[in-house]
Amino acid sequence: MDRGCFITFEGIDGCGKSTQIGLLTGYLEERGIDYLLLREPGGTVIGENIRTILLDKKNSGMTDMTELLLFEAARAQIVSEVIRPAVESGKVVICDRFFDSTAAYQGYAKNMGQDVVETLNQLATGGFYPDITFLLDITPEQAMERRAARGEEDRIEKLGMEFQKKVRDGYLAIASESSRIVKIDGARTPEDTFSEILGYLEEMI
């Protein structure tokens, strides 16, 4: 059985990931390509339970280390239970966020250290990494406008504009060091943004 592929989408909150993922799954469906859509944290029963804890506004007392370890715990579960078996059985797996989120949010924006995050990412994934990652880059101001249209904010979105700026800087730093991560200008129309993404994927899927 040929290996499938593993595609991840990243960016600050409100960057347009959901729209682009919707366009991609529509494209795959039209062509009858078998895919699996997942999100992090989540994607398994255990992971969705961890997600509830992580995003609950009542958990404002959560320490940064608890947060980091919970994201990694959810990741260990989804990689072993779902992502690795699906990719190995030939499926296209799309994940809304993966370990680059931890590098940007916890490593950079919360200053927990890239070395710590990299070690935990390696442990949680067992070295199973995405084939390609799309970083949808927009300014925190543009993202804020989109989030305002979406309604209530979760525990992490509530950290505000300064935090989102740090997350964006973190993403840009990570992207500049990795050939796996493709930076996409997410401020254009959804159609223009998607056609650039498709240009990278057409040979792969």
Q: Provide the minimum distance between the beta carbon of 106 and ligand TMP in the complex, in angstroms, as a whole number.
A: 6
Site string for ligand TMP, 155-174 (x = CB under 6 A): -xx-----------------
Contact region with ligand TMP (CB under 6 A), list: 57-65, 80-88, 101-109, 140-148:
101-109
The answer, yes or no, to whether the previous bond of 130 is cis (omega within 30 of 0) is no
Taking CB under 6 A as the rule, does residue 10 contact ligand TMP? no
Q: Report the distance separating Cα 38 and Cα 198, nearest Å.
A: 19
Taking CB under 6 A as the rule, does residue 101 contact ligand TMP? yes
Q: Report the distance separating Cα 172 and Cα 104, nearest Å.
A: 9
The footprint of ligand TMP on residues 30-69 (CB under 6 A) is 39-41
Beta strands in the chain (DSSP E): 5-10, 35-39, 92-96, 132-137, 181-185
Taking CB under 6 A as the rule, does residue 137 contact ligand TMP? no
Burial classification of residue 162, based on how many CB atoms lie within 10 Å of its CB (0-12 exposed, 13-18 middle, 19 or more buried)? exposed
Q: For residues 4 and 14, which CB has a smaller minimum distance to ligand TMP in the complex?
A: 14
3-state SS assignment for residue 184: strand
Q: What is the DSSP letter of 183?
A: E
Q: For residues 5 and 143, which CB has a smaller minimum distance to ligand TMP in the complex?
A: 143
Q: Provide the minimum distance between the beta carbon of 41 and ligand TMP in the complex, in angstroms, as a whole number.
A: 5
H or E element at residue 18: helix 17-30
Q: Provide the minimum distance between the beta carbon of 68 and ligand TMP in the complex, in angstroms, as a whole number.
A: 8
Instruction: Enumerate binding residues for ligand TMP (CB under 6 A).
Output: 13, 39-41, 71, 97, 101-102, 105-106, 156-157
